[in-house]
Every structure is written in C-alpha cells, then in structure tokens.
C-alpha cells in the first residue's frame, strides 16, 4: 500500500483505470472560465476514480470483498466499482445520507448499514467490521491509492483546457483537492495552477488545519454535511494542501445554495449543494480572478433530488 502520493502515482492510476471511468467533459461558460463536469462521471461523482484505483491496486481480493464508509457518493462509487469487478461491497453510511443515495446503493447491489449521526461514526463502524471480516477497506479520502485516482480528474482538466491558471475545488476530507493539486502539477511538485480550496464555513477542515499546523477536529453541519462532512482533514491531504500553491476560501451555506441555483438556472447543470461549493467560491466573491486569468471550477456531484434545484 502506498503511504505517500505523487504526480507519478496519478499517471499510473490513469493507466490503471483507463476504460473503467468516463473522461468527463469541460464546458467553457465564458472566455477563460471552464466547468469540469465531474458530476457526469459514473455513479454521479469523481469518487469512482479513486475506488477503481484502490481496488485494482490491491491485487487478489478477500472473499468478503470491499468495505467503505461514506456520506453517500463514495459509497456509490465503491459499489459501482465492486459490481463492475464482480466483488461484494459492504457500505456504511450515516443517518444524514440522503434517500436518493441510499436508493442508489440498493440499486447497485451493495450491502448497506446505516449507522451514526455523521460520517465519522459510520467510519468507525466500518473499520470495526473490516477488522472482523478482512474485507478490503476503501477509504473515502485518506488513502494514497484513492487520492491518486481522484487526481486523474486534474490530468484530464489540463489536457482539455490547454492549461489554466487557477482551479477551484471543494474540500471536505481533502482527498479530491489533494488529487487535483497533484494531477495538475506536472513533473514538478511546485509547478502548476493555483488551487483554491473552497470549504463551507460550517465544515472548515482545511482552514483549521492550516491555522493549527496539522489536521484537527471540526464541528460538522450545514447543507453540505452529507458529502463534505469529514470531521478532520486527511493526513495525506494536509501534506499536499499545505503547500504554497493552495489557498483556503470559506463560503456560507447561503452562498452554496445560491451557487447551486446558478448552475441550474444559467447552465442547466444539476448539481448537489456540496458539488456546487467550488462554484460558490467564485460567485460569492470569495475568490475573484484577475483580468485575463484562466479559471476552472470542478463541479463534482449529481446525486440529487431534481425537485430541489430551484428551492435549495
């Protein structure tokens, strides 16, 4: 198992999962502004990239298959990958998980346990179960193979746009943000676009980690809690996101809801509130591009109830 992750690991992941995941499109919504539509990925989010890379990296799997804890999207991704590879998937989700996601897990044939009020409690239950059964654990964000898989989104983005100056990405546990940072870095770890890590004010995992100099627990709440609701930034993510290319921006729940509505009303992009968090960093003024700056916003989650698109 990898204990660190590099740009070379992202390149290896791209080869490993090729043909298993979609090359999601980019939409140039105005000159110099792109949306990377990762919400069109299999299972509705980028998470399937890391799930496939983790499982395929493991070699022979135990008869008990794979196990994961998730707010929903990661579980859907693991269940999708497991079904595609013909292995059993056991998914632990917290009570806050939306009915849309639970229904999706059922449709994918996953064995579901709904336990705990928030993600961390479901994760504790999943870890205990993995120790009992020997199933392969697929962590939602703090696992190098998962981070490397998520980083393939960044590789695609740079190829599709010809390169950008800045990438806005939502951060919860930080695996996706770390992957994007590494995937866009090229051969030199210090090179690449600025990464604007957008977080809800009510779940400031990276913001507080940067202030403390290490990942620290935070309170979890608000409209993005089911997808960005990690109680602490991952150690691997901190290693990457504490670098000079990254800045943290906090947004309110109201800004996230407004950004989601904007995605739908102006662009007919049907995302979830957590998936719209990165766009909230831009439309709320949390990050203001300079004239001529080339900016990409990663829109990363679609498992939503369509009836809520205009109501929040």
Q: Which of 87-91, 262-266, 288-292 has the lowest mean pLDDT?
A: 262-266
CA dihedral 197, 202, 205, 211 (to 10 degrees): 90
- Measured between alpha carbons, how far is residue 186 from residues 5, 155, 295 in Å? 14, 9, 18
Find which of 41-50, 66-75, 95-104, 256-265 is predicted with most confidence, using mean pLDDT: 41-50
Note the pLDDT tens digit of each residue in 203-236.
Answer: 999 999 999 999 999 988 877 766 676 889 999 9
CATH architecture of 54-137: 3-Layer(aba) Sandwich (3.40)
* pLDDT confidence of residue 118: 82
**Calpha distance 166→195 (Å, rounded):** 6
The structure's pTM equals: 0.91
Q: Is the pLDDT of residue 24 over 90?
A: yes
How far is 2 from 9, CA to CA, in rounded Å?
9
The answer on pLDDT for 256 being more than 80 is yes
Residue of 302 and 17 predicted with greater confidence: 17
Question: Sign of dihedral through CA atoms 181, 184, 186, 190?
Answer: negative
Q: Determine whether 190 is exposed, middle or buried from the number of CB atoms within 10 Å of its CB (0-12, 13-18, 19+).
A: exposed
By mean pLDDT, which of 145-149, 248-252, 256-260 is the weakest? 256-260
Q: Which residues, including other chains, have CB under 8 Å from residue 122's CB and lie 6 or more apart?
A: 69, 70, 92, 93, 94, 113, 114, 115, 116
| Identical fold between 7-48+144-308 and 54-137 | yes
Output the pLDDT for position 29: 92
Residue of 138, 23, 166 whose CA lies nearest to 69: 138
Q: Domain boundaries in the chain?
A: 7-48+144-308, 54-137
Residue 1, pLDDT score: 55
pLDDT at 227: 62
CA end-to-end span of the chain, whole Å? Answer: 41
> ∠38-52-161 over CA atoms, to 5°?
30
Lowest mean pLDDT among 20-24, 150-154, 209-213, 227-231: 227-231
Structural contact between residues 142 and 234, judged by C-beta atoms closer than 8 angstroms: yes
Residue 224 and residue 309: Cα distance in Å, rounded? 15
C-beta neighbour count of 31 within 10 angstroms: 7
Residue 303 pLDDT more than 60? no
Whether domain 7-48+144-308 has CATH 3.40.50.1100: yes
Which CA distances in Å does 192 have to 27, 110, 132, 312?
Answer: 21, 38, 43, 35
pLDDT value, residue 97: 81
Q: What mean pLDDT, rounded, does the chain reach?
A: 89
Residue 209 has a pLDDT of: 97
- Give the rounded percent of residues in the chain with a pLDDT score beyond 70: 91
Quote the CA–CA distance of 10 and 128 in Å, as a whole number.
Answer: 30
Q: Band of the pLDDT at 306, cuts 50, 70, 90?
A: low
Q: Of 8-12, 68-72, 187-191, which range is least confident?
A: 187-191
Instruction: Quote the CA–CA distance of 93 and 113 in Å, as a whole number.
Output: 6
* pLDDT tens-digit readout, 55-112: 999 988 999 999 999 877 899 999 999 999 999 999 999 887 888 888 999 999 999 9
């Amino acid at each position: 198992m990898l204990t660190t992750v590099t740009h070379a690991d992202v390149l290896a992941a791209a080869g490993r999962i090729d043909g298993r995941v979609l090359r999601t499109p980019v939409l140039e919504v105005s000159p110099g502004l792109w949306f990377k539509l990762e919400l069109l990925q299999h299972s509705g989010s980028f998470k399937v990239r890391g799930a496939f890379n983790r499982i395929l990296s493991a070699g022979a799997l135990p008869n008990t298959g794979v196990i994961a804890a998730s707010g929903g999207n990661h579980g859907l991704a693991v269940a999708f990958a497991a079904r595609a590879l013909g292995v059993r998937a056991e998914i632990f989700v917290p009570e806050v998980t939306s009915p849309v996601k639970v229904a999706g897990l059922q449709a994918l044939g996953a064995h579901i346990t709904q336990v705990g009020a928030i993600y961390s409690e479901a994760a504790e239950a999943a870890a205990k179960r993995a120790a009992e059964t020997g199933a392969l654990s697929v962590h939602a964000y703090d696992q190098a193979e998962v981070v490397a898989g998520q980083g393939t989104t960044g590789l695609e983005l740079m190829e599709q746009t010809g390169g950008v100056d800045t990438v806005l990405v939502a951060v919860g546990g930080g695996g996706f943000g770390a992957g994007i940072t590494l995937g866009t870095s090229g051969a030199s770890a210090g090179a690449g676009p600025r990464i604007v890590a957008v977080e809800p004010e009510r779940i400031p995992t990276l913001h507080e980690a940067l202030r403390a100099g290490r990942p620290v627990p935070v309170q979890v709440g608000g409209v993005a809690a089911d997808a960005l609701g990690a109680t602490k930034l991952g150690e691997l993510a901190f290693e990457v996101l504490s670098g000079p290319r990254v800045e943290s921006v906090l947004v309110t729940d109201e800004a996230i809801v407004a950004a989601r509505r904007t995605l739908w009303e102006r662009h007919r992009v049907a995302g979830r509130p957590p998936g719209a968090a990165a766009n909230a960093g831009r439309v709320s003024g949390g990050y203001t591009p300079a004239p001529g700056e080339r900016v990409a916003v990663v829109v990363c989650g679609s498992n939503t109830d369509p009836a809520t698109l205009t109501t929040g």
